[in-house]
Structure 1
Amino acid sequence: MSKKKVLFTLISIIYLVSFLAFAKTELKMKTDATAMNKEAITLLKSGNYEKSLILSRRALSLAIFYKDNKLIASCYNTIAANFDQLSEYDKAFYYYHKGLAYANKTDDDVMKNWLNNNLGNIYCFDKKEYEKGIYYYKKALDYSAKINDPAQMVFTKINLTWAYFDISQFEKGLPYLKYLNKHHDKYGSPSTEVVLNMLNGMYNNFINDTKKSQFYFEKAISLGIQGNEKSDLSYSHLEFSKFLVKNGNFKDAYTNLSRYNTITEELNNEEKKSKANVAGINLQIDEYKREIDKIGNEFKTKEELLLQEQSTNKKIVITLTAVLILLFFVFYYYVQNAKLKHNNRLQDIQSKIQENLINATINGQELERKKIASFLHDNISALLSSAGMHLFAHISQNKNSSQEILNTKSILEQAHDQIRDLSHELMPSLLARFGLFEALSELCKKNSNSILQFEFYTPIDHMIRYEEEFEMKIYFIITELLNNTIKHSEAKNAKLSLKEYEGSLKIDTIDDGKGFDSNKFHILEGFGLNQIKARLNNLKGSIEINSEINKGTAIKIIVPIVYPKNATPAFPSQ
């Protein structure tokens, strides 16, 4: 055997050993990611949504890194379910869609069934877009039939029947109701008996079978009182009141409508308390912060050990391969090393505009944002909700409501949605609840689309929190940078990275857009840099902009970190 054959045989053995080592390392990290997601699901079921979100996002990062579509879909579903429970339906809707996109790339029909069902729920019960909701329910029904799960088929058909009956399409919902009446005893669950009886009451009311309708409504209410499904009980009272109004029993109708309003108010109060608990996480942080830190550190240590092991294996392979090849191809490596030189130089420029901006002006802007957002959410939005509820009660009591009343109801709903969106835009709730890094991760995901993809990277632990106003200023600086990229760069890819370095926060944004000549100062005007530099002056930070035409733009910001009072960094500088 020639020396060359011996060399290539040795190289093949080395790469085989390396491949097995890398496969073992990858399997360990995938196992950790799966364990994180399972723990997040357990925390979700127990109502510990904050911890569940933290773990599911960490699991998602690993799943995306290893391109495991099943695990990615499962993580997105867990994140969406958390937001669903927190009544953050827009975020839940976004993540359910993301999860379905990845689930559709797999053969996991169980996950596809759940995601389609969840999307149907949001379309029907939150967005009131019944046609879309029914479409997703039918998709879920197809997958439940495909996996031959009768319990899921019963569950989905209850949703379909309710959706059709809610828009008075009783003929379309009737086949599903017949199926439920036939199979629910065998495959249904006690938690859906209230809904089934309510649906039977609604249908018999539609066909004017008064006796049966009253029987089913009363049975639904009786089961609802015995159980814990307040929401189903409230809807049963509402539909029963409609039946009683139709039959002229206005006294009992008013009683049932009052019960519906009382239970609905209780549910709303519980939802407000849940949101208050989430918003006031600092009140509970002493109880579980150590536990979260412990879990995060354990997984972080495992990741670091596995990455270190992987890096060591790579170094061994590279070293051995280089030594063996250098014995025979020294000249070849000299040539390759000569070809590695490149001639890419970016001209550095710093432009200073509007120096000595008044710090109080910037602080006032941020304070007004918080005050306005809080006022809109806590006062105006609550008043609109209350007005809508009273108006709905009036419409329910008066069968022939005027068009002006209906128009008023629609206007109130639009105003409520716009107030909520404006409040979130002025002061993102994720920033206050989970901190800068979770908010930036969410910001990059929301701004990514088929034209421009934002990538977010930071080695800093997402649980680390800085001083509140510092986080807010950094968030709005980066928001302005991303807006500039979207509006002006014409890029396809952009990357945002944050690192801690010697007590400062280093922020880098890079895009592959059209760029500009950074030597020409006037080009920089109008890009929102006035607000950015004003905030940086306030924070004693600096900004450096490097760009070339057709080569993209790179922006580097360095800002001294401001930690909360009487606090020290949780981890050493990165």
Structure 2
Amino acid sequence: MPLKHILLLLLFISNISSFNIVAQTKLPSKNDAVLIAKEANELLKKGSYEKSLIKSRAALNMAIRLKDNNLIAGSYNTIAANFDQLSETDKAFYYYNKGLTYANKTNNDVLKNWLNNNLGNIYCFDKKQYEKGIYYYKKSVQYSTKIKDSAQIVLTKLNLTWVYFDINRYEEGLPYLKYINKHHNNHGDSSTIVALNMLNGMYYNYKNDVKTANFYFKNAIKLGNAGNEKSDLSYSHYEYSKFLLKNGDSENAYKNLALFNKITEQLNSEERINKANVAGINLQLDEYKREIDKIENEFKTKESVLLQEQSKNKKIVIVLIAILLLLFFLFYFYSQNAQLRHKNKLKDLRSKVQENLINASINGQELERKKIASFLHDNISALLSSAGMHLHACISQNQSFSKEIIKTKAILEEAHDQVRDLSHELMPSLLARFGLFDALDDLCEKNSNSILHFEYSSSLNRKTRYDEDFEIKIYFIIMELLNNTIKHSEATQAKLSIQENKESLQIAIIDNGKGFDSNKFHILEGFGLNQIKARLNYLRGTVEINSKPNLGTSITIIVPITYQKKIIKPVFQSQ
């Protein structure tokens, strides 16, 4: 199967797996979820907390199913804000934390800013855990700075100033107060102007600047009476009473403290009324909380089941992919192996054809050698001998003979010797008449000289005879190897040894010459080994060459013996 088709099949399987997972649950529209979340926020701003909770719960359910962390965090924030407005601080705190967990998984810095600020408010003004509150306020400042929300920066730094001043850490709160004084006119709003004046009064009271502190406190109270910020007004009376008492004005201090108590009582009364108004829906609020938690737990359960099924499907896909890849690679290697076997077969056939051609050429050459040697010996040599005998008879009968006759006799004798030598070179008479071992001993003797000495060694009976064709091929193989030794080895000593072992003839030729790297086969090709190997393959024999530079050469030949089928008479005898 082509790789392209396999990849398409894998993609198809993967898509089927993904489709099965998605098809198990019908997801809501994200646009619908966003629209419901917006409606929940609008209802929150209008004070319709119960309706806002219903909408935000629905938005949360859809957001969880959509796995949209941004929508989930926003829904939790809206739910928390509703509980915050209903003075259900613990519930608000719980959902603000839930919202921040999901918001931190998003890039929504605006939402992170609000959630951190709201958590700071609860820690500082309800739980009185100031260090944690300061931490979340500072996180809020980081996000509001990042998104360049100047109004939010002013508001959060005002809260930080208030917290530091409330715990008498004025110097730490001073940088924030300076920032608010500088930027409030451009980025602050009327809801914080009372608090700003009160904070300035507190700071100058800490610095014992009575005149400036008195100015800011009075201004805070004046602005508070003119507006609707009763909480900030009550705190202004309280801080002003402390200032007056510190400076010896007990009477006015008492009056401001009484106003603080009065306004605080009014606020508490309003809060009690508010709580009374919401008492009827507290059970429903608890139910909302339980339902919201149930939605999240159900989602987590469904998500866990889906993840398990997804994991199972992924494993199935991986197994299928692995099987397909394994099949592909098996097919690929099989096809490559088949091609390699085919190539090797062709190579072997070519080698066999080439070897057969070489053997046919060698056999033809040997046959021609025998024919020419036989013709020279039986015909030409005999004719020359006959002519010589007639000439000798003529000379014997005539007492006087010319110089031309003597020269003719000498030429005939020289021609006879040359024909005989040529005949023996083409087909040694010793090989035909006395066998392989005498011929090889004679070959070593002829090739020995003062520079290179060939030693012949064999424990075999010299009268041992093999098949004629076998002896001829072995003789010429050894002759070619000895010629190589003479031409290339630069040796001074060489040894030819022949033994029989399990109906095989073992031939060893060893010299002490310069040697060569036998691993480099291309060097050996120039030594006529192709014909030698072709002869040996024809005889089903093997050759092993071991040589190293400056360490001589060792050649070992093992060839099955072909014995005589019948007694072969000598083809000719030497004259």
Report the TM-score, using the length of structure 1 for normalisation: 0.48
TM-score, normalised via structure 2 length? 0.48
